[in-house]
């Protein structure tokens, strides 16, 4: 195992040094690097274009049972580099036992662990062992934006409702199996312009939007909490409207991000938005408002009977000698998309690093986390395959 462990830490550094920012350089170079690495193994490798110059990668070790297969799925893109770094964001420096760089924990170290475990199993299969289940590695594009990579994975049939699917997002030593739903709205208010000295002659679109925002915020706060997932939340991430301070604005638009927990779903969120619009039309006569849903991802609840959850927990506890907590992932992942679309209960996250460090300057991952996760992923794969 020591060689594989060394391989994962060095591979993490190599992957960090390849710029795959989204938006930015995107995944072309890192996909080529991963494709070439996998092509050196005795397994078939597919490169599938999802967006211009942006390719998903899939490699497969064939087993006696093809479905369900064990699937390690990892996104290859990172968020933009941003400002505020005190280290080289593409340097992959090792400082006090941690590797620094954009994507260090989200999720190039997890990607490295998955690749290392897959390589180890490919070599074992090539030595004459016949895997019980097929084992698939998938590298996806666009996870940090619209998740079009994993959507294409589903369309291509690379995963099914039976697959055992693990992503290697940073989980801080936990197994994370549940997700809040994510519903995005764009709300547009149209009013009537007038001079600010005679506002009653117009209809203030911004004032109406303020009513809508206040109503939505209050009602989301009143939604019931969930034992595992906590509370529903809402963020009004972007707003625009108006021309000049002395003109009653006739346009305002807001972009809304809701993170919803059972029993509050998108249908309930629509009712909240529509009620807020009705109330705003009364409070600010003369306005009209409309909304569009631009993202609709369902919440995912924990399934205690999941085969993969039991196998992963056993592998993690055998590796660490400790009880491994099972919790929820605060964001939305490739596996959550698969779970929501295919109703697959065997979708979860386990990877090196802490999500609190992701998307920030001086992002880092402890080398010990990489070693632990590589060991767990290799142990898990071996237990299911051989």
Asked, for residue 1, whether it belongs to a domain, the answer is no
Q: Buried (b) or exposed (e) across 321-346, using 16+ Cβ within 10 A?
A: eeebebbbbebbbbbbbbbbbbebbb
Q: Give the pLDDT confidence of 51-74 residue by residue, as tens digits.
A: 999 999 999 999 999 999 999 999
Specify whether 50 is located in the same domain as 124: yes
Q: Quick check: 176 and 56 in contact, CB under 8 A?
A: no
Global pTM? 0.91
- Work out the pLDDT band at 4, boundaries 50, 70, 90: very low
Which CATH number does the domain housing residue 351 bear?
A: 3.40.630.10
Q: Give the pLDDT confidence of 256-300 residue by residue, as tens digits.
A: 999 999 999 999 999 999 999 999 999 999 999 999 999 999 999
Asked, for residue 2, whether it belongs to a domain, the answer is no
pLDDT at 269: 98
**Tokens 């933009």, residue located:** 80
> How far is it, in rounded angstroms, from Cα 337 to Cα 300?
9
pLDDT at 325: 96
Q: Which two tokens stand for residue 93?
A: 């420096």
Specify whether 138 is located in the same domain as 280: no
Specify whether 27 is located in the same domain as 169: yes
Specify whether 282 is located in the same domain as 233: yes
Order of strands across the sheet that contains 94-95? 94-95, 98-100, 364-366
Per-residue pLDDT, averaged over 172-189, amounts to: 97
The domain total for the chain is 2
Q: Chain centroid to CA 41: how far?
A: 28
Asked, for residue 129, whether it belongs to a domain, the answer is yes
Parent domain of 258: 181-297
Which of 273, 297, 321 terminates a domain? The answer is 297
Per-residue pLDDT, averaged over 36-41, amounts to: 98
Specify whether 326 is located in the same domain as 284: no
Angstrom distances, CA of residue 54 to CA of 59, 198, 344, 382: 17, 54, 27, 31
Q: Specify the 3-state DSSP secondary structure of 160.
A: coil
Specify whether 15 is located in the same domain as 136: yes
Asked, for residue 116, whether it belongs to a domain, the answer is yes
Q: Chain centroid to CA 313: how far?
A: 21
pLDDT at 5: 46
Specify whether 123 is located in the same domain as 167: yes
3 pLDDT exceeds 70?
Answer: no
Specify whether 159 is located in the same domain as 214: no
Alpha helices (runs of H) in the chain, residue ranges in sequence order: 2-16, 28-39, 109-126, 148-156, 205-221, 266-283, 307-320, 334-342, 367-385
Asked, for residue 214, whether it belongs to a domain, the answer is yes
pLDDT at 7: 86
Which of 241, 263, 297 terminates a domain? The answer is 297
Specify whether 162 is located in the same domain as 147: yes
Find the largest Cα–Cα distance for the chain: 85
Per-residue pLDDT, averaged over 140-152, amounts to: 97
pLDDT at 1: 35
> How far is it, in rounded angstroms, from Cα 165 to Cα 267?
28
Which CATH number does the domain housing residue 209 bear?
A: 3.30.70.360
Q: Give the pLDDT confidence of 316-368 residue by residue, as tens digits.
A: 999 999 999 999 998 899 999 999 999 999 999 999 999 999 999 999 999 99
Asked, for residue 342, whether it belongs to a domain, the answer is yes
Asked, for residue 305, whether it belongs to a domain, the answer is yes
Specify whether 159 is located in the same domain as 35: yes
Which of 282, 297, 312 terminates a domain? The answer is 297
Specify whether 127 is located in the same domain as 219: no
Q: Which two tokens stand for residue 97?
A: 């036992």
Asked, for residue 135, whether it belongs to a domain, the answer is yes
Specify whether 350 is located in the same domain as 226: no
> How far is it, in rounded angstroms, from Cα 321 to Cα 27?
37
């Amino acid at each position: 195992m020591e060689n594989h462990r060394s391989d994962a830490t060095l591979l993490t550094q190599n992957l960090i040094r390849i710029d795959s920012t989204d938006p930015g350089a995107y995944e072309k170079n890192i996909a080529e690097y991963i494709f070439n690495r996998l092509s050196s193994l005795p397994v078939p490798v597919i490169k599938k274009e999802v967006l211009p110059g942006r390719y998903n990668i899939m490699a497969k070790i064939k087993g006696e049972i093809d479905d369900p297969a064990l699937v390690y799925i990892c996104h290859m893109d990172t968020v933009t580099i941003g400002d505020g770094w005190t280290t080289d964001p593409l340097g992959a420096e090792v400082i006090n036992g941690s590797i620094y760089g954009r994507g260090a924990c989200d999720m190039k170290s997890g990607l490295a662990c998955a690749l290392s475990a897959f390589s180890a199993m490919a070599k074992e299969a090539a030595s004459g062992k016949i895997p019980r289940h097929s084992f698939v590695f998938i590298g996806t594009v666009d996870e940090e934006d619209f998740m079009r990579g994993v959507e294409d994975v589903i369309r291509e049939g690379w995963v099914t409702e039976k697959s055992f699917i693990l992503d290697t997002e940073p989980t801080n030593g936990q197994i994370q199996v549940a997700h809040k739903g994510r519903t995005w709205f764009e709300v547009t208010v149209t009013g009537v312009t007038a001079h600010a000295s005679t506002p009653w002659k117009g209809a203030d679109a911004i004032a109406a939007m303020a009513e809508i925002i206040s109503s939505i915020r209050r009602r989301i706060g009143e939604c019931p909490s969930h034992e595992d997932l906590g509370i529903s939340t809402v963020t009004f991430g972007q707003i625009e409207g108006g021309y000049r301070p002395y003109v009653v604005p006739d346009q305002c638009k807001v972009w809304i991000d809701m993170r919803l927990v059972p029993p509050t779903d998108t249908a309930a969120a629509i009712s909240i938005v529509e009620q807020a619009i009705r109330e705003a039309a009364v409070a600010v006569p003369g306005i009209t408002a409309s909304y569009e849903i631009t993202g609709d991802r369902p919440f995912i609840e924990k399934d205690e009977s999941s085969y993969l959850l039991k196998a992963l927990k056993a592998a993690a506890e055998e590796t660490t000698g400790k009880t491994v907590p099972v919790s929820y992932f605060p964001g939305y992942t490739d596996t959550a998309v698969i779970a929501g679309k295919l109703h697959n209960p065997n979708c979860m996250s386990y990877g090196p690093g802490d999500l609190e460090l992701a998307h920030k300057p001086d992002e880092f991952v402890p080398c010990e986390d990489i070693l632990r996760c590589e060991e767990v992923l290799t142990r898990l794969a071996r237990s299911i395959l051989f």
